[in-house]
Chain A
């Protein structure tokens, strides 16, 4: 029979890696199981933007707590992780969006988060390639960008330094409520706690995870040093992220240390395949050059797609899965997986060790979707 672990983490994407690192750092005996490359799923397809979002108090709390953790972790990340605190500029196209800028600024200030309102002139000074007709924006200096697969790798390596065992490739067949994980080849592992950190695949191992796939397209450009300094997002991004139905594109661009730029974003609810859909790509890039006209002549090197794990209320599931007391779920972060991964790791470890967390974990509790509760689940 196999030995017993304190914690088994299923999935070595950014969330799983963070859980592993945190649990191992706290002296727990950790086993990580992953069927593919570390950080090779959704983690590999996203933008790696560490950003505070304020759709709800809970989201604001989780993302700002996690961002703080990223800033603390940054000095120990490898060079490959390409961590840069380049800041975010939320761009307003018109007066209506400028009002939103004002609101955000006020909210951030109330929460002790720094931000600066930019008028048209100040905006163009920060980012000369932006369209001249934009009304202004909000500069959030403490946001950062990171290369997620490498960051996941760092976190896994860190967990190994603290004694974690990493078993790759290991394809999980089922998670059993009595505290066991069975692989497709029949191998069985026992643990006091099992964390389902499988992103959009979490529902494979859980009946209480209303997580759906939300497809996104991305493009990466040629190397162009000096073109862009901050991550830039249009305020319409929030409308796009919030809408539960329909296909949408919202301008989002990120400078990489390499000089390349990541261009996004798009959201689709009903697309299952990972193929590039030309009309979505088209929609996305057209939106991009509306905000940055000179992008028209920038060369795109490659495009790809990824699936965000989405929940109906746009908050992740972090907490006990079912009543066994042994199974936990940490998934469903939609577009905030990278940002919120570190806080998620902390919350999961706190729960397993039955100690209080720095923020209230209740809003993320999977029990809000437990069977018997009326929720519109697809």
Chain B
């Protein structure tokens, strides 16, 4: 028997921008709302360090609106199971909690895609968004030489933010080629004019920072920790000395909960209708799990989901056009920054692919299917349950494992009952 069972009209899983927008809408439309967030703060990844006190315009506006709303936020609360209909089981810092809901909104955000390359497991190699989030949480970056690698406009944001915190950016390596990059840039006035201002802002902040397109890391070097990284442009290779490497190749939605619940998923995105409703009638999904699209998409989808779940169809409908505009931007992004083939083949047989179980590419290549590989090497069976190696094995071998079992995150035995 659980210690506590709480009932809400609308339960929202995740505490990032999409959740906050949904919570505000639903509350303002008279529903009782619970936000269930795994970390001890609200704001997700993009609004890190905006909680408990918001500092920038957009989060200030939304957190203020949230504080007026009657929504209840549960922090350090991790959903581990959905044991019965319309019920979530969560692990909290002092036990467990059952949340019974009428409607559920899933806004679990995204995680970064890591593609293994030799040396990528060395200490002081982080994701790109990870580096930014850590820096916002006061990670020591002042005076550190940082190389940034990956794909997309996020690299600018990361570089600018790190520079603000006193880091020395030794290189920003964008894997996409210059033509694709420029083509994307030319679409901005039509798709997302606000982004141009942002781009200009970043541009000014990044004067003097070496930025290269068609550039990616091929090996990280160091004995006990990172010391340098070899980059390539496809023609030549060169070594860059650095203290940290911030490197990731895009984002993928956190789909464990929708999978567990049985929501329809296609091409790594939860399938939703115009009202952000999933294939399960009482479950909605907003933000990155429905398709990677950044903060504006997330906020809009969150608002629609909150309104729709609360029954305010009219107002939800009024936001469709805005959302569609952001979807176009989303698609242009995906096209402009598609991953090049070379990134799929960076690993050597000795390169670790599954970090939890230290399984190498060589060990995996012995098998023809993921189930065999997983059973025999234990790849994907560790603590992260394939969250990190999943994208890697998909990219490298075309393998996918869609099985999700409780607990969604490791949880103490006493909290599983």
Contacts and interface: CB of A to CB of B under 8 A. Distances in A.
B416 A282 contact: yes
Contacts of B377: 80
B375 A44 contact: yes
Interface stretch (A34-42, A61-69, A225-233): A34-42
B385 A302 contact: yes
A303 B404 CA distance: 9
B413 A296 contact: yes
Contacts of B407: 300-303
B84 interface: yes
B410 A299 contact: yes
A200 to B, nearest CB: 18
Contacts of B416: 219, 281-282, 285, 300, 303
B405 A278 contact: no
Given A299-B412, A300-B410, A286 B417 contact: yes
Interface residues of A, number: 32
Contacts of A286: 417
A70 B199 CA distance: 66
Contacts of A276: 405-406
Given A40-B372, A80-B376, A285 B405 contact: no
Contact of A36 (B371, B411, B414): B371
Interface in A212-230: 219, 221-222
Interface in A1-40: 36-40
Given A222-B383, A302-B405, A278 B413 contact: no
B372 A38 contact: yes
B383 A301 contact: yes
Interface residues of B, number: 23
Contacts of B417: 282, 285-286
Contacts of B406: 276, 278, 281, 303
Interface in B373-417: 375-377, 381-383, 385, 405-407, 410-414, 416-417
B350 interface: no
Given A36-B371, A301-B385, A149 B376 contact: yes
A304 B405 CA distance: 7
B228 to A, nearest CB: 32
Given A37-B372, A278-B83, 9 more contacts: A37-B375, A38-B376, A149-B376, A221-B413, A282-B417, A285-B416, A297-B412, A299-B413, A301-B407
Interface of B: 81, 83-84, 369, 371-372, 375-377, 381-383, 385, 405-407, 410-414, 416-417
18 contacts: A36-B371, A37-B369, A38-B376, A219-B413, A219-B416, A222-B383, A276-B406, A278-B83, A282-B416, A282-B417, A295-B413, A296-B412, A297-B412, A299-B410, A300-B407, A302-B405, A302-B407, A303-B407
